[in-house]
Each structure stands twice: as structure tokens, then as C-alpha cells.
């Protein structure tokens, strides 16, 4: 496989990828139900002559490219959903859906994967095996990977390895157009918890007749933070954030309960399970010791994202050959953000790579999930090239 020729073909697709991206950027949709986005992707794939399955995991779209020779199936995954944010970029192709914006770059992921599909089709004869193109909804929540897996996206034909890509500035060390790769745990689990501290309300001047849930909560918050500072190995990252706390209605009334909500991020599954268990023990112990009671709900969301060594090495080598060694950055420490690509990586070996999309020289610096988020469009062909080349060369590396 001549990767330099493939690189040039990818460069020639740049304008087409930009067009797809701008079209998709104007029609952002949220969650699991993405009628316009799914229809757009379906049409683009059909126009290329690729067989398509729709409504996989509600609104997921799956294309299949069959190579000229038998071999394994390699999957490429792009997420499709946007965020409930009012766009303020002022771009000519800004969102036409009020209160909705592609503020995480998933529009570019779809466009780059369509570009990869086009390259793969052109090289179908050389392709050993099949490439499954997975367009997934609801990455930003409630999660689209799991429903697609339940709907059989990894079967028939069975997926042997998978690759996903994220654009932007999630890892600051990856400059514009470079590819960041990482080994092992790269992103954290994303869990949510709810605690209700139940006391007994009453007159603010007569605390002896009440059980004050505000004071119990004050003790509880400190104790929960100590699970991280005193029970977790200091060199292992773990986050416990209480983002919402609510209780009381008047300055002189002791309320009957206080509610807390928050998130836990871990990069190791055993530590994740451990803190979930220890949190409830602490909540139970403290509320009981202080004469109150509680409700505790811990919702396990996305698991830690863990890359497979062999697939990561393959993609890293491919990107080096394709774009030059200086364009590939090895990520040294994980981010505590989460990604539901992790569900695919739990089931099949694969990896998740990062395409630098911020570009301070062009003033493109705003962070993900901000109303002025944007990316450097000039990098798109590079993402497309790495996706297509990694899929095309995968079986070769295996024998
Ligand atoms: Ni994202």
C-alpha cells in the first residue's frame, strides 16, 4: 500500500470534507434522535453506493465496504450528536437550529469518516476484508454506543478491531493537524450520583427539636472528599465532584432534607467500583451517627476508555508513515473526561486517537462545549487519511 499516494488522494478530498462538515454543522441535533443528521449520512453513503443499515441503536447509521479479498472486519466509528448550546461563532455555516450546536466537533468526525469511506471505496480491490462505518448518536448523553452494540453493530460480520477519532483540544499537547495516540487508560469513567440527606425540619431557633440535614451535609462533603485524598493512591487520578447542592427554603427554618448530585471520574475499573461502595458506606455511617437517614443512587455511566496496544501501535505506525513522525504525539497522561467509545473498546480491541483541531496562529482557541467552539478545517484531510489508511493496512500487519 502506497501511503504517500493515499495521502495525496486524501488532500484532494479536502473541499468535499469541508462541505460535508458545513452541511452537518448547520443541522445539529441532540441525543439519540437525530433524524436530519442520520438521513444526511445515509444519503451520502448511498450516493457512494455503500450498503447502509439505519436505525441501529435508535438513529445510528452503519455502512459496510466489502474488499476485493477475504479478511477481517475493521470498524471506524464517528459520533453524530450535538449539544444544547446557542451558537455564537458568527460563522456563515453556523447552526440553523436554535439552542443547538455542534460544539464538540462531532460534525467534523462524520465528515472525515465520509471522506475515509470514499478513499476506501477507491481502494476496494486492495482491501483484505471489510470495513464497517459506524455513525453513532448520543455520545454527549445518554449514550449511543451501548444501544448500537445491543442492536448487533459489532456482529454480522463480527468486528475484529475498531478505531475512533476525536478532533479539537482535549489533549493540549497535540497541535493542529497532529495525531495524538495513547496506550492504556486514556479517558475516565463518567458516573453520576445522587444523595438525599434526610433529617427532621423545624424552627431555626430550636435546633434541639430537629435533625439538621444541612449540618450533616457539611460533615458529609468533607468526608467524601477524604475518600479521594486519604484512600486513593495519590499517583492514581480520581475525581469526586459535587456539582449541585440544594436544601432549605427560608433563612430561619431547618429543612427536612438536603439533596446533592455529582460525578465520579476514575481511570481504573477496580477503583471506580471501590469508591462507589465506599461512598455509600460513608453516607450511611455519617447520616446514622448524626441521627439522620439517606437515599443514595450511584449510576454507572461510561466505563474508563482503555486502548488496545496492538491496534494503537498499528495506527501510530500508519500515521507516522502517512504524515511524518513529527505529526504523531504520544499522550502521556489521561484526561478525566469521558467518552462512550469506551463501550466499543470493552468489547473489541481498538483505539481512540486525537486530531489536533485548535490553532492559536489562526485564533482558533476556544474550548470544547463553548458557544464559540471551532476547529481548523485545514486538518480534516489528515484525519480522513489516518482513518482510511489504518483500516486498509490492518490485515497486512496481522500476518
Ligand atoms: Ni466530543
> Domain span at residue 279?
190-302
Determine the pLDDT at residue 395.
Answer: 73
| Domain match, 133 and 238 both | no
Measure 221 CA to ligand 1 centroid, in angstroms: 30
| Domain match, 283 and 314 both | no
Positions annotated as catalytic residues are 81, 139
Name the grid cell of 240.
469526586
Determine the pLDDT at residue 396.
Answer: 57
Measure 34 CA to ligand 1 centroid, in angstroms: 16
CA–CA separation, 198 and 205 (whole Å):
19
Measure 155 CA to ligand 1 centroid, in angstroms: 25
**Positions of the chain with pLDDT under 50:** 397-399
CA–CA separation, 7 and 323 (whole Å):
8
CA–CA separation, 242 and 260 (whole Å):
7
Measure 106 CA to ligand 1 centroid, in angstroms: 6
Determine the pLDDT at residue 1.
Answer: 78
CA–CA separation, 115 and 109 (whole Å):
10
| Domain match, 152 and 197 both | no
Determine the pLDDT at residue 186.
Answer: 96
Residue where one domain finishes, among candidates 275, 302, 329: 302
Measure 79 CA to ligand 1 centroid, in angstroms: 8
| Domain match, 148 and 196 both | no
What is the model's pTM?
A: 0.93
Measure 82 CA to ligand 1 centroid, in angstroms: 9
CA–CA separation, 175 and 362 (whole Å):
12
The DSSP call for residue 140 is: T
Measure 280 CA to ligand 1 centroid, in angstroms: 31
| Domain match, 138 and 265 both | no
| Domain match, 272 and 340 both | no
| Domain match, 98 and 225 both | no
CATH number, domain containing residue 278? 3.30.70.360
Determine the pLDDT at residue 399.
Answer: 45
CA–CA separation, 308 and 352 (whole Å):
9
Amino acid at each position: 500500500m502506497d501511503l504517500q499516494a493515499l495521502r495525496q488522494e486524501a488532500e484532494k478530498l479536502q473541499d468535499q470534507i469541508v462541505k460535508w462538515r458545513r452541511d452537518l454543522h448547520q443541522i445539529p441535533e441532540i441525543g439519540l434522535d437525530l433524524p436530519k443528521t442520520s438521513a444526511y449520512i445515509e444519503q451520502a453513503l448511498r450516493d457512494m453506493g455503500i450498503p447502509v443499515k439505519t436505525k441501529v441503536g435508535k438513529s445510528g447509521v452503519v455502512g459496510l465496504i466489502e474488499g476485493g479479498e477475504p479478511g477481517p472486519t475493521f470498524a471506524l466509528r464517528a459520533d453524530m450528536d450535538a449539544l444544547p448550546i446557542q451558537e455564537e461563532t458568527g460563522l456563515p455555516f453556523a447552526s440553523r437550529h436554535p439552542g443547538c450546536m455542534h460544539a464538540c466537533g462531532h460534525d467534523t468526525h462524520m465528515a472525515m469518516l465520509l471522506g475515509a469511506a470514499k478513499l476506501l471505496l477507491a481502494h476496494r480491490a486492495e482491501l483484505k476484508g471489510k470495513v464497517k462505518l459506524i455513525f453513532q448518536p448520543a455520545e454527549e448523553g445518554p449514550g449511543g454506543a451501548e444501544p448500537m452494540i445491543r442492536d448487533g453493530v459489532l456482529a454480522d460480520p463480527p468486528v475484529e478491531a475498531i478505531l475512533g477519532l476525536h478532533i479539537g483540544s482535549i489533549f493540549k499537547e497535540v497541535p493542529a493537524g497532529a495525531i495524538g495516540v495513547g496506550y492504556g487508560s486514556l479517558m475516565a469513567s463518567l458516573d453520576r450520583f445522587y444523595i438525599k440527606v434526610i433529617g427532621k425540619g423545624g424552627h431555626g431557633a430550636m435546633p434541639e427539636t430537629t435533625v439538621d440535614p444541612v449540618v450533616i451535609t457539611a460533615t458529609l462533603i468533607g468526608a467524601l472528599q477524604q475518600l479521594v485524598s486519604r484512600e486513593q493512591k495519590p499517583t492514581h487520578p480520581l475525581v469526586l465532584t459535587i456539582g449541585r447542592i440544594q436544601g432549605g427554603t427560608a433563612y430561619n427554618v431547618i429543612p427536612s432534607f438536603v439533596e446533592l448530585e455529582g460525578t465520579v471520574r476514575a481511570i481504573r475499573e477496580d477503583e471506580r467500583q471501590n469508591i462507589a461502595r465506599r461512598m455509600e458506606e460513608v453516607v450511611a455511617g455519617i447520616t446514622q451517627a448524626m441521627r439522620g437517614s439517606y437515599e443514595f443512587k450511584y449510576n454507572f455511566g461510561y466505563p474508563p476508555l482503555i486502548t488496545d496496544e496492538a491496534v494503537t501501535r498499528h495506527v501510530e505506525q500508519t500515521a507516522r508513515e502517512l504524515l511524518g513522525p513529527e505529526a504523531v504525539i504520544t499522550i502521556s497522561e489521561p484526561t478525566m473526561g469521558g467518552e462512550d467509545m469506551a463501550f466499543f473498546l470493552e468489547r473489541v480491541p481498538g483505539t481512540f486517537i486525537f486530531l489536533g483541531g485548535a490553532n492559536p496562529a489562526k485564533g482558533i482557541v476556544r474550548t470544547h462545549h463553548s458557544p464559540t467552539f471551532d476547529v481548523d478545517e485545514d486538518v480534516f484531510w489528515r484525519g480522513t487519511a489516518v482513518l482510511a489508511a489504518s483500516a486498509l493496512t490492518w490485515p497486512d500487519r496481522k500476518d
